[in-house]
Structure 1
Amino acid sequence: MPTYLPFDPNPRRPAKTPPPKTVDSQFHVLGPLDKYPIRPGAAYQMPTATWEAALRMHKALGIERGVIVQTTTYGADHAVVLDALAAMGPNYRGCANALVFAEADDAYLVKLHDAGVRGARFSFRQELGAVLSDKDFARAIARIRELGWYAKIQPEKDGIVSSVEKYWSLDVPVLIDHMARPDPVGGKDDPNLRTMLELLSRGNFWVMLSLGEKTSKAGPPYDDVIPIARAYIEAAPDRCVWASDWPHPVSVKQPPNDADLIELMYRYVTDDATLEKILVHNPAKLFGFPA
Structure 2
Amino acid sequence: MIALQMHQFVRTTDPVKYTLAEGAQYIPKTHLLSEALKFEKSLGLRNVVLVQPSIYGTDNTCMLDALRALGPNHGRAVVTFDPETIDPETLQHWHQLGVRGVRVNTQSIGKRMKEEEMVTILHKYADIIRPYNWVLQLYVPLDAVIILEKIVPKLGVTICLDHFGSPALNGHSHFEDPYSLPGFQSLVNLLLQGTTYVKLSAPYRICRDEAWEDLEPLAKELVRVAGMSRAVFASDWPHTRFEGLDIKPYIEALIEWCGNDDALIERVFKGNAETLWGV
- TM-score interval, normalised by the smaller of the two chains: 0.7 to 0.9
Alignment partners' CA distance in 1, 2:52 and 2:97: 13
1:95-140 C-alpha deviation (Å, 9 max, x unpaired): 111x343343221111111110001111234836898886554222
Alpha carbons of structure 1 residues 272 and 247: separation in structure 2 relative to 1, 3 Å: same
Alignment partners' CA distance in 2, 1:51 and 1:129: 30
Q: CA deviation at 1:192?
A: 3.1
Determine if the alignment matches structure 1 residue 153 to structure 2 residue 138.
yes
Q: CA deviation at 1:31?
A: 1.1
Say if 1:173 and 1:205, in contact at 8 Å, map to a contact too.
yes
Determine if the alignment matches structure 1 residue 25 to structure 2 residue 25.
no
Alpha carbons of structure 1 residues 208 and 139: separation in structure 2 relative to 1, 3 Å: same
Q: CA deviation at 1:37?
A: 0.7
Aligned to 1:203: 194
1:234 to 224, 228, 245: 224
Q: CA deviation at 1:242?
A: 0.6
The amino acid of 2:74's aligned partner reads N
Determine if the alignment matches structure 1 residue 62 to structure 2 residue 51.
no
Aligned to 2:95: 113
Alpha carbons of structure 1 residues 35 and 86: separation in structure 2 relative to 1, 3 Å: same
Alignment partners' CA distance in 1, 2:244 and 2:143: 21
Say if 2:83 and 2:125, in contact at 8 Å, map to a contact too.
yes
Alpha carbons of structure 1 residues 43 and 256: separation in structure 2 relative to 1, 3 Å: closer
Q: In the TM superposition, what are the counterparts of 1:159-174 in structure 2 within 5 Å? A: 159-161=143-145, 164=148, 167-169=151-153, 170-174=155-159
The amino acid of 1:33's aligned partner reads P
Alignment partners' CA distance in 1, 2:40 and 2:187: 29
Aligned to 2:67: 85
Q: CA deviation at 1:165?
A: 5.9
Structure with the greater relative contact order (CA < 8 A, sep ≥ 6): 1 or 2? 1
1:37 to 13, 16, 19: 19
Alignment partners' CA distance in 2, 1:235 and 1:162: 18
Residue 20 of structure 2 aligns to a residue whose secondary structure is: coil
The amino acid of 2:99's aligned partner reads V
- Name structure 1 gaps, 5 residues minimum: 1-17
Say if 2:2 and 2:270, in contact at 8 Å, map to a contact too.
yes
Aligned to 2:79: 96
Q: CA deviation at 1:163?
A: 5.3
Say if 2:126 and 2:156, in contact at 8 Å, map to a contact too.
no
Alpha carbons of structure 1 residues 73 and 194: separation in structure 2 relative to 1, 3 Å: same
The amino acid of 1:280's aligned partner reads K
Q: In the TM superposition, what are the counterparts of 1:44-55 in structure 2 within 5 Å? A: 44-55=26-37
RMSD after superposition: 2.5
Determine if the alignment matches structure 1 residue 267 to structure 2 residue 271.
no
- Name structure 2 gaps, 5 residues minimum: none
1:192-213 C-alpha deviation (Å, 9 max, x unpaired): 3222112112211111111212
Residue 127 of structure 2 aligns to a residue whose secondary structure is: helix
How many residues align? The count is 266
Residue 200 of structure 1 aligns to a residue whose secondary structure is: helix
Alignment partners' CA distance in 1, 2:220 and 2:8: 20
Say if 2:103 and 2:139, in contact at 8 Å, map to a contact too.
yes
Residue 261 of structure 1 aligns to a residue whose secondary structure is: helix
1:63-115 C-alpha deviation (Å, 9 max, x unpaired): 11120001121122211111111112321110111x34334322111111111
Determine if the alignment matches structure 1 residue 256 to structure 2 residue 245.
yes
Alignment partners' CA distance in 1, 2:21 and 2:111: 11
TM-score, normalised to structure 1, is: 0.82
Identity score, percent: 27
Alignment partners' CA distance in 1, 2:106 and 2:150: 9
TM-score, normalised to structure 2, is: 0.85
Residue 250 of structure 2 aligns to a residue whose secondary structure is: helix
